[in-house]
């Protein structure tokens, strides 16, 4: 791989994702920069058909245009009764102007129409892609199994978190702290794998 980078751009405009990623990267020596720090204003088209493809597109685009190493996440919800939907469309399946409440209402509506009984089995999936100048992108994946409940519970997290039940604990992700979410979430798992990979390389240079 090319000379390892000390500075990293987190290629997201989601404040929730940025907060989780910054928190997870604290054990590393990376200097973390956001897209807003760079004055980045435009959306990156997510034209891939998988989380991995979209994560690589975003990381490589930011890396190429900024000249800096970039970390991008693509993640979403896969519901068993909806044959894996909304999947890569998780942030867009209720329409381009939909907010979290709109998406959650649409999700519950579709699940009720599908005819199954709640809670509906589902999983969160996350793929992180790391790109730096002169090297091929590297990816890291995490999955969190759970179920969807029809009524929101808790005000923490973002996205589908208040509807995503952790059955073994009988709480939704919206009801747990950021530290607890990092310990069990799909993004937390992918970030831990990335952090171990980073620390191995930082240790090799010391």
- Strand-pair category, 31-34 with 7-10: parallel
Three-class SS state of 142? strand
**The pLDDT of residue 137 is above 50:** yes
- Average pLDDT (66-91) is 94
**The pLDDT of residue 10 is above 90:** yes
Q: What is the pLDDT, as a whole number, of residue 4?
A: 60
- CA Rg, the chain, in Å? 17
**The pLDDT of residue 204 is above 70:** no
pLDDT over 90 for what percent of the chain? 59
User: What is the pLDDT confidence band of residue 17, given thresholds at 50, 70 and 90?
Assistant: confident
pTM: 0.86
Q: What is the pLDDT, as a whole number, of residue 2?
A: 52
* Angstrom distance (rounded) from CA 75 to CA 2: 27
Q: Which of 6, 37, 64, 74 is the catalytic position?
A: 74
Q: How is residue 196 written in tokens?
A: 């171990």
Span 168-200, pLDDT tens digits: 999 999 999 988 888 888 988 999 999 999 888
Q: What is the pLDDT, as a whole number, of residue 9?
A: 94
Q: What is the pLDDT, as a whole number, of residue 1?
A: 46
Span 98-134, pLDDT tens digits: 898 999 999 999 999 998 899 999 999 999 999 999 9
Edge-to-edge strand ranges of the sheet holding 164-166: 31-34, 7-10, 69-79, 120-131, 138-148, 164-166, 171-172
Span 155-169, pLDDT tens digits: 888 899 999 999 899
* 3-class secondary structure per residue, 100-128: HHHHHHHHHHHHHHHCCCCCEEEEEEEEE
Q: What is the pLDDT, as a whole number, of residue 63?
A: 95
pLDDT over 70 for what percent of the chain? 95
- For 7-205, CATH gives 3.90.950.10
74 catalytic per annotation: yes
Three-class SS state of 98? coil
Domain boundaries, the chain: 7-205
For tokens 């709640």, name the residue: 118
Q: What H or E segment, with its residue span, contains residue 57?
A: helix 51-66
Q: What is the pLDDT, as a whole number, of residue 203?
A: 65
**The pLDDT of residue 5 is above 80:** no
Cβ contact 57:47 at 8 Å: yes
Residue 151: name the closest of 125, 175, 180 by CA: 175
Cα separation values, 29 from 24, 86, 191, Å: 12, 36, 15
């Amino acid at each position: 791989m090319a000379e390892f980078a000390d500075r990293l751009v987190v290629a997201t405009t989601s404040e929730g994702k940025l907060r989780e990623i910054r928190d997870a990267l604290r054990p590393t020596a990376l200097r973390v920069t956001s897209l807003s720090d760079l004055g980045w204003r435009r959306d990156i088209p997510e034209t891939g058909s998988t989380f991995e493809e979209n994560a690589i597109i975003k990381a490589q685009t930011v890396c190429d245009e900024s000249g800096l190493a970039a970390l991008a996440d693509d993640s979403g919800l896969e519901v068993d009764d909806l044959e894996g939907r909304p999947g890569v469309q998780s942030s867009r399946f209720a329409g381009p102007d939909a907010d979290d409440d709109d998406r959650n209402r649409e999700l519950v509506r579709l699940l009720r129409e599908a005819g199954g009984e709640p809670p509906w089995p589902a999983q969160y999936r996350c793929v992180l892609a790391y790109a730096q100048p002169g090297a091929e992108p590297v990816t890291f994946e995490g999955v969190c199994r759970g179920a969807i409940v029809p009524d929101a519970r808790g005000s923490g997290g973002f996205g589908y978190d208040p509807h995503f039940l952790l059955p073994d604990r009988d709480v939704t992700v919206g009801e747990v702290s950021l530290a607890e979410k990092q310990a069990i979430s799909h993004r937390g798992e992918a970030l831990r794998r990335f952090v171990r990979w980073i620390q191995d390389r930082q240790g090799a240079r010391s």
